[in-house]
Amino acid sequence: MENKKTSQLTLLNRFQSFTKHPFFGIFLAAFVMILIQVLGNSGILKPSAVDILANIWIYMIVGLGFTLLLGYAGLASLGTAGFIGVGSYVIGFVFNQMGMNFFVAFILGVVLAIILGTIVGFISLRIEGMYLAIITLGLSEILVEVFKFWTPVTGGVNGVQIARPEFFGKVLEREEVYFILVFFMVVVMISVVNIIASPTGRAMLSIKNSTSAAQAMGISVLKYRLMTFVISTVIAVIGGMLYMTYNRATTPNMWSIALSLNILAAVVIGGSKSIWGVGLGSLLIFGLDQLVLKRIEFFQVYGNASFILNGALIILVVMFYPGGIIRMFKDLSNFTKKQINGIIRSYKEYRYGKQ
């Protein structure tokens, strides 16, 4: 009897320690994403809704890279959309000119991201953190021009379309690309969680909190800032490549500064220090807009009207509540615990008298 109880306890303990592992939530999220696709196949969810969600996951992947930059290194960048665009055009170019070669495309994209990120990051971060936003703002404008006018590669204003991607001779359906997307999501999430928990992540955080103190501790400010920027650039380019593989079309106008700002909004509003905050923020910013607001007539007429909400939320969160929405859950649970404890105490005082 005694023995059985302890074994049950250990099983429970094991389950608890299993759920507390940082990767548990990630795999749970991946499971939910796969479930969405399964529901879409079985006809419960509309295919268009699945498409919209898939694009939200892509922006969420990009947002994860941005979290490192904004929440941990304390830097703001405006080049995100440009980098996503670079990724999408790399896929378009490689697939149309060199056949469906995933590995060449992936390596080319990552190398391009590292080169671009290093040049821009090195020049601007050498001076000061604030300059990164200025230089990337210029870069994103130039990138849009490149997409528009480098016609032999980027197809000009009409953009690039690709056929259904093939993988080892097998034509990939949209659902299969969706699973690739979920796989990348898991990989990026695990990498970001690991980076945050590693000495690198702590070095980034120390730089954000005080540059001078970090320098005094022997942390190279430029090195870690540059590293973060390059990582987030690589993740943005990967996001762009996934976007192109899934949607199979890209045009220059999509990669304007508004998208960068919306990704910034998703990260800031959700909570710039947590990977779950980014998920919530992306669902709120892109999901609310695409799934709900697009059906209201007012927002149909005035296309950008939902931006007001995003912008106002950025300002409010930055002003009063830097933790973002994810922080709100924690605060709310703390608040309810306090209230419940207070009620229990007053009940006990009433029942048993003051001690």
Binding site for another protein (CB under 8 A): 74-76, 78, 119-120, 123, 126-127, 129-131, 133-135, 137-139, 141-142, 145-146, 149, 212, 256-258, 261-262, 264-265, 268, 301-315, 318-320, 322
CB atoms within 10 A of CB 11: 10
Closest distance of CB 250 from another protein, Å: 20
Cα–Cα distance for residue pair 266/40, rounded to 1 Å? 25
Structure token pair of residue 78? 């405006």
* Contact predicate 70/267, CB 8 Å: yes
3-class DSSP string for 90-115: HHHHHHHHHCCCHHHHHHHHHHHHHH
Q: CB nearer to another protein: give 107 or 292.
A: 292
Closest distance of CB 126 from another protein, Å: 6
Q: CB nearer to another protein: give 132 or 189.
A: 132
Closest distance of CB 127 from another protein, Å: 5
Q: CB nearer to another protein: give 138 or 342.
A: 138
Closest distance of CB 267 from another protein, Å: 10
H or E stretch at 336: helix 325-352
Helix axes 47-67, 221-247, angle to 10 degrees: 170
Q: CB nearer to another protein: give 172 or 265.
A: 265
Nearest to 258 by CA among 42, 82, 44, 66: 82
CB atoms within 10 A of CB 261: 18
> Under 8 Å CB-to-CB from 122, ≥6 apart: which residues?
222, 226
Nearest to 309 by CA among 325, 285, 333, 329: 285
Q: CB nearer to another protein: give 24 or 150.
A: 150
Closest distance of CB 336 from another protein, Å: 24
Closest distance of CB 32 from another protein, Å: 29
Q: CB nearer to another protein: give 192 or 207.
A: 207
